[in-house]
Structure 1
Amino acid sequence: MKLFDRQQLKAIFAIAIPMILSNITVPLLGLVDTAVVGHLSHSYYLGGVAVGATIISFLFWMAGFLRMSTTGTVAQAIGRNDNAHAIQTWRHSACMGLLIAAVLIVCQYPIWLFAAKLAGADPKVAEYAHVYYLIRIWGAPAALLNYATLGCLLGMKRAKIPMFLLIVTNVVNIALDLVLVMGLQLNVAGAASASLIADYTGALLGLWLLHRAWRNRGESLLPNHWLGFLRWSQFNELLRLNRDIFLRTLSLQICFSFITFEGAKLGTVIVATNAVLMNFMMFASYALDGLAYAVEALAGDAVGRKDRQQFNQSVFATLSVALLISIAFAIIYQIFGEQIVALLTSIDAIRQSADKYLPWLVFMPIVAVWSYIFDGVYVALTKGNVMRNGMIISTFVIFFPVWWLTRSFGNHGLWFALCCFMLARGVTLIAHYWFYNKRWFARMTQIEHPNG
């Protein structure tokens, strides 16, 4: 088996490069938010945005299973030349996203009370976090609908469309950040409003682009029989399908939210510091996720065609490229880390604090790359139970016990626990892949494999 076949690499880069370029614009939003708010007069503005954005991200990304399951299922359907099933997957995911969004909006007040209590932030930070939250929560329908749309487009291997969609959406957000925060002096409310408007811009543009993509295939996004489509049994089936990925995403968000909330308990400067440093991690992760999206689509297509050799080629070639990129990020952070921090905030206390914790961010890309790529592998296989089990082990057996044992080290303990968590994610997924790879395809082809 050739791991570096030219055609294989070409197929990977055809998806990965557009998605890397578009995904990099996502942390750029965080960079602009942080840079714009971080240059205001007080650190509690940045702390408020950090806590508020963490709560919103937690709520929205709990529905991240919509994007992941849609990509894997659509990719497999495309591999079988089953357009009808691919479109139906998007319809169900889109409706489920809107239903979840409605629940979030209706329950926004009790959700805030619970989240604010967990955060335990300084009163001034909590005040501005509340301002941010009350605005951003109304973007839930747009954000969750967009997950289904992006998932469908990626499963179709139409990576240039999501690239265009994400870039336009993020440029709108950046432009509005500058106008509302810096120009109109709306501070935290301006940053939240910019993201809200960008969410709806992205959702509407995404629907139009997806409609065009399917129309070119001679298909329609709208169902022919609405009564059959709206049966509860179909939504119930979607819930069962996505349950495992939901639990996986919930565990992941618990860890990242804990970093912010525990940082808030350590003080206003620490929570602001972690907000700055988290942009380093997000920047690398979104670049690596571009390659994860490639393996989702290509390996999922191979699963649909029951082509084990093509599946493994997609996995190993993508992983090799991802390792090179993770090393590049580590080098960049080692050389330019302090300069990047200085660009993000002009507050001396935050700069000095961030410099102490930069070494953790140098190691993070190399430690985390394995989990990103193998998450993509299991999305392609639609094996949500494996992702769920690995994430639960990494969260509750590794992350929280390590943090508890290193609490005396303060914020260093938090970052060490996060490194251990990312490493454990990769180890659990790779172990399962190694032992069960042959068995999956033996079942698909209904051929008994005695050594599986």
Structure 2
Amino acid sequence: MLTNVATALFGIADLWVIGRLGDANAQAGVELGAKFMMGLLVVFNFLRSGTVALTAQAAGRGDTESQGGTLVRACGAALAIGLVLLALMPIAIPAGLDLLQAKGGVATAAGAYVGIRYWGGLLWLLNAVLVGWLIGRKRVRPVLWIEVAANIVHIALDLLFVLVLGWGVEGVATATLISEGLKLAAACAVAAREAPARLALRLLRHRTTWDGAALGILFRLNRDLFLRTLLLTGAILLLVRAGAQQGPVVLAANGILYQLFILSALILDGFESAAQVLCGEAVGARDRTRFQRLVRTTMIWGIAFGALISLIYVAAGGPFAASFSTDPAVTAATLLYLPWAMLLPLIGIPSYVFDGIYIGATWTRALLATMAFAFAAYALLLLAAAPFGNHGLWLAFSVFLVARAVGQGALLPRLERRAFAGR
């Protein structure tokens, strides 16, 4: 949870610092550019989730060589994807910004931001693999210190580049790019000290590392997670696109509300990560009793923390949200729609915990099916709620989170019986 708070500070720092300029176009441009980069990269978050699951299950079996092989294969996949994205850069940036309805000053600011951030895509992908691998081995504390150190540097560079040197949007993007590079260097240094990673060079040249069975498991798992994340990212981009159609003030306000949502989601994602690792180990060890106990425990504690964060947002969310902009119109719009951000931690946490359980158990096909069901409900409600404006938009997104949890909860008993047949 602490690691994820540190991760969330990247986006919060960018939006807060650019908000000191009092320019709605600049703030909306950073919001749109950040969502473009999220849409481009987060669909490949299977590199982290899949690596966590496969590493945790190998650890549950006590298989050191499989842990090393997972790291090598996942890094190879990240490198290949990163190179393809760089080759597509001249096409991807204009097409993506057009898709997000970027216009006028917002489009100019978003283009400047993305033009710099895009070069860090390969760094982000490799970071996802290394962080997932370390979490799968329960080496979470070093990941926390890496995130904390990277954020200290990032915030300092944000302040220097934007408020001192006056680089504006370009300064925010440059600070993020440099910080991603430092994170990758630190993660490599930590991973290199782990015993399975020391097998990497030998496994890289070993034919069995790249055989069809090993790659098949990786690709099947990653295919389902990719499609599931594609739907999740599509839901968020629909949220951004619909906000952009209502003008820069609503777009900037929604950007602030989204940062509050993602802060709570990343904090609560600690329960998802724990469920991935611990449930993955229980499945690897074929221990059904332990698995059932972990499902109950993570869900109960997750809901309790979700309720706590919602109460904190109710008590202190107003002043915190208002601090993100010096533009009175943006602040007023943010406070008008703030109750939605207060509600989301509580209604979102069951789906986060179920995500972790399903990924750890490698039930990725079922995870994809439930996400497709929720996305369909979200898209239909988005159309039906259009007359209600931005309130309708946030209502549809809230239903999306609930629908995910309903589908996952309904399928869990059958999946458990199949996974632990005879136990």
**TM-score interval, normalised by the smaller of the two chains:** over 0.9
2: CA distance between counterparts of 1:73 and 1:324? 29
- SS at 1:186's partner residue? coil
Shift of 1:48: 0.5
Q: Show CA shifts across 1:185-209 (max 9, x none).
A: 1110000001101111111110110
1:43-192 counterparts in 2 under 5 A?
43-192=24-173
Equivalent residue for 1:424? 403
- Match of residue 29 from structure 1: 10
| Gap regions ≥5 residues in structure 2 | none
Moved over 6 A (4+): none
1:343, distance to aligned residue in structure 2 (A): 1.6
Matched, 1:439 2:418: yes
1:272-311 → structure 2 map (5 Å cutoff): 272-311=252-291
Letter in 2 for 1:205: A
* Paired residues of 2:69 and 2:203 also in contact (CA < 8 A): no
Unaligned runs of 5+ in 1: 1-19
Cα shift at 1:89: 0.7
Contact residue 124 and residue 180 of structure 2 kept, 8 A: yes
Cα distance in 2 between the residues matched to 1:82 and 1:123: 55
Residue number in structure 1 paired with 2:377: 398
Q: Please report how far the alpha carbon of residue 225 of structure 1 lies from its aligned counterpart in structure 2 after TM superposition.
A: 5.5
Question: How does 1:233-382 map onto structure 2 within 5 Å?
Answer: 233=212, 235=215, 238-382=218-362
Letter paired with 1:405: A
Amino acid in the other structure paired with 2:382 = W
Deviations 1:353-410 (A, max 9, x none): 0111111112111110011001000111011111111111111x21110010010111
Kept in 1: contact 2:322–2:334 (CA 8 A): no
Q: Identity over the aligned pairs, expressed in percent?
A: 31
* Paired residues of 1:23 and 1:286 also in contact (CA < 8 A): yes
Q: Secondary structure at the match of 1:223?
A: helix
Paired residue secondary structure (2:22): coil
- Show CA shifts across 1:85-106 (max 9, x none): 1111111111111111111111
Q: In the alignment, what sits opposite 1:385?
A: 365
Q: Cα deviation per residue 1:288-322 (whole Å; 9 max; x = unaligned)?
A: 11111111111111111100111111111111111
TM-score by length of 1: 0.90
Counterpart Cα distance in 1 of 2:29 and 2:56 = 40
The 10-residue stretch of structure 1 (271-280 or 429-438) with the greater mean CA deviation from structure 2:
429-438
1:80: how far off? 0.4
Question: Which amino acid is the alignment partner of residue 278 of structure 1?
Answer: Y
SS state at 2:202 partner: coil
* Stretch of structure 1 that moved more, 192-201 or 106-115: 106-115
Equivalent position amino acid for 1:157 in 2: K
Q: Conserved in 2, the CA contact under 8 Å of 1:48 and 1:128?
A: yes
The aligned length equals 422
**CA distance, structure 1, for counterparts of residue 274 and residue 360 of structure 2:** 10
Distance of aligned partners of 1:231 and 1:70 in 2 relative to their CA distance in 1, 3 Å threshold: closer
Report the Cα distance in structure 1 between the residues aligned to 2:205 and 2:197, rounded to whole angstroms: 20
**Aligned-partner Cα distance in 2 for 1:141–1:278:** 25
How far does residue 241 in structure 1 lie from its aligned partner after superposition?
2.8
Secondary structure in structure 1 of the residue aligned to 2:224: helix
Instruction: Give me the CA root mean square deviation.
Output: 1.6
How far does residue 232 in structure 1 lie from its aligned partner after superposition?
8.0
> Residue 35 of structure 1 aligns to which amino acid in structure 2?
W
- Kept after mapping to 1: 8 A contact 2:10/2:154: yes
1:143 is displaced (CA, Å) by 0.5
Shift of 1:237: 5.3
Q: Which whole-Å CA distance do the structure 2 matches of 1:45 and 1:235 have between them?
A: 44
Deviations 1:210-265 (A, max 9, x none): 11122xx6943323452627858465653233100000000000011111122111
Distance 1:224 1:77, change over 3 A: closer
2:73 and 2:210 in contact (8 A); partners too: no
Code of the aligned partner of 2:233: Q
